[in-house]
Structure 1
Amino acid sequence: MPPKGPEPAPPGRTRRADASRNAALLLAAARELIAGSGPDVALDEVARRAGVGNATLYRHFPTRADLLVAVYADEVVELCRQGAGLLTDPSPADALFSWLDAFVVHVATKRPLALTATEGPTGRRSALFDQWHTSIRATASDLLERAQDAGAVRPELTVADMLALVGGAALTGTDVAHARRLTALLRGGMETGTGI
């Protein structure tokens, strides 16, 4: 009996790989277009930019809200991933303020997307918004606690204080550069001057 060759791929495996690739292409195209034009971007343009048909877009993201949620979810995951990566930085203070800089840019540039992706029919934010906020808050808390343990940041500073201050800078800054400058100025009020 001749040696047995490799087992054929189960039916649908290639399709799943193609589906994953198409979803990634759609998300990348949507992210790029939203960054340039805002969340009201035409879905036909997203499909065209991704190089797929409209039917493929609607198969992955049946509504505009589904697409916006997926794009914003990726943004939150990336922000939290940056924070997790900074937990090994030799300077806990620099790690915290590096992440706060990324956070202020996130809020200043992604807020319209976040609000559009999470507004319910009643005008109230969806549970997704709360989940994303919880993830961001946990990341901020880990970085803050590490900086406080090193004596680098004022011990009475809470994560709610810190995010309110930096979020305020993001919302009141005249542009992203101004929001980042305001956040850098806030560092002086948060640090102890005695830590690492």
Structure 2
Amino acid sequence: MAETYVSGVAGRYATALFELARDAGVIDAVKADLDRFGTLIAESDDLKRLVRSPVFSSEEQEKAIAALLDKIGMSGLSANFFKTVAANRRLFTVESIIRAYDALVASYKGEVTAEVTVAQPLSDAHAATLKQALDAMTGKNVKLAVEVDPSLLGGLKVKLGSKLVDASLKTKLNSIRTAMKEVR
């Protein structure tokens, strides 16, 4: 496994959780719990307020999180982790912790994410072909994060790590326009 470094408070919490989950053999179960909690935050304005607001005391946050975890049936390492984060008044970092944990899991599994921007949605066949090409190019398991941007007109942009391949029709037309201006 290549070392992945995550920094800051969220990075330290994510790293600690990842190491505990790895040692217990529950990496995927914890990831599923974190994803579920992240979804709950995204869907509930009240939970967002609880997580992000400094107005709530750690006791109030702990009680609310414990009640929520009981209600959704989350227990074990993930539940203890959320309770600890609330007790330490670090609940405001939970969304960053989830992202950092995801990065650690992806690195551990040898996965990388390619950010793909297309003019129109990719068919399953095109997505599979693109994934195979990127897998072969990187030697790793590439996950596609596809975003649709109609302003590209056609083609696609692929960002993998620090590399960007821009094969969009919009960029090609802009290049032609620039070349035409230089000819005059």
Both structures adopt the same fold (TM-score exceeding 0.5): no
TM-score normalised by the chain length of structure 1: 0.29
More helix by share: 1
Which structure has the highest strand share of the two? 2
